[in-house]
Amino acid sequence: MQGMAQKKKDGKVLDFIERVGNQLPHPYILFLWLCLILALISLACSLAGVSVVNPTNGEMVLAKSLISKDGLIWLLENLLSNFQGFSPLGLVLAMQIAIGFLKRWGFLPQQ
C-alpha cells in the first residue's frame, strides 16, 4: 500500500516536470534569449566600468559591450575560435548529423 502511494507521488512530480517542460519554448529560441540577455549584461557592465584581473598575466581587463560596433566586430572575428575551443560541441554536432541521417533514411522512427 505504501509503495503505491509513493508511486503516485513520484508520478505527480514527473507530470509536473513534463507540464513545465512542455510550456518552454524551443531550445533555439531559449538560446537566442540567452544571447540577448548576455549582450544586455555586457552593455550594463561596460557602462558601469566593470573590470577584472586576468589571472594568467595579472593585467586589468575592462568589460566591453557586445552591442557596440567594436563588440560586434570582436564577436564576429572570434566566433569560430570560440566554438572550436569548446570540445563537446564537436560531439554534439556529429551526433545531430548522425541522428538526422538515420531519421531521414528510415532507420529511426519518425515521431
- Residue 14, all three cell numbers: 514527473
What's the pLDDT at 93?
84
- The answer to whether the pTM exceeds 0.85 is no
What's the pLDDT at 54?
93
pLDDT one-digit tens code per residue, 40-79: 999 999 999 999 999 999 999 999 999 999 988 988 898 8
Task: Provide the residue ranges of all domains of the chain, joining segments of one domain with +.
Answer: 1-64, 68-111
Is pLDDT at 2 greater than 60 in this prediction?
Answer: no
Long-range pairs for 7-14: beta carbons < 8 A, 24 or more residues apart? none
Q: CA 20, CA 10: separation in Å to the nearest integer?
A: 16
In DSSP terms, 60 is beta-bridged to: 53
pLDDT band at 84 (very low <50, low <70, confident <90, very high): confident
Total Cβ atoms within 10 A of residue 81? 9
